[in-house]
Amino acid sequence: MTAGDRLPETFYQAHAHCEAMAVATRTLHIPTSKELDIVDLTGHVRSAVKESGIKSGIVTVFIPGSTASVTTTEFEPGVFSDLPNALENIAPKEAQYAHHLTWGDDNGRSHVRASILGSSLTVPFSNSSLLLGTWQQIVLVELDTRSRKRTVIVQIIGE
């Protein structure tokens, strides 16, 4: 865009009606069963958005900790095989990790994998409905070497 270009009219219309933004925060407690467990969070996030009463905005899904991840994928058996295989190629179980020497544990790969996948995700919503693709779900990926009880923060911002 150059200095003389105008943004589309819809941009101006959307902002002409802005009032004070509302924020709602929900905390989920999600048990995982093992390393590379993939848990569908879509229903939990969808419910949190509807219960918030906020009609349009964004929802951020965040997992505190450095050995789990939140992302989107198609929640189907092929992905349950493909994602772990891809992660094994990127950060193999049998590789040497300096983290193991520092802490005397075995989850160096978990930290590397979580750093690559990320700890949060932002999804827009309108009319209290998530604007996800047809086959797209929000998932938690357990990357630690054992089962865990994960805390997931869902923060809804909008009007």
pLDDT by residue for the chain (159 residues), tens digit each?
455 555 455 544 445 455 689 999 999 999 999 999 999 999 999 999 999 999 999 999 999 999 999 999 999 999 999 999 999 999 999 999 999 888 888 999 999 999 999 999 999 999 999 999 999 999 999 999 999 999 999 999 999
Taking the C-alpha atoms of residue 110 and residue 113, their distance in angstroms, rounded to an integer, is: 5
17-158 has which fold? Jelly Rolls (2.60.120)
CB 95 within 8 A of CB 109: yes
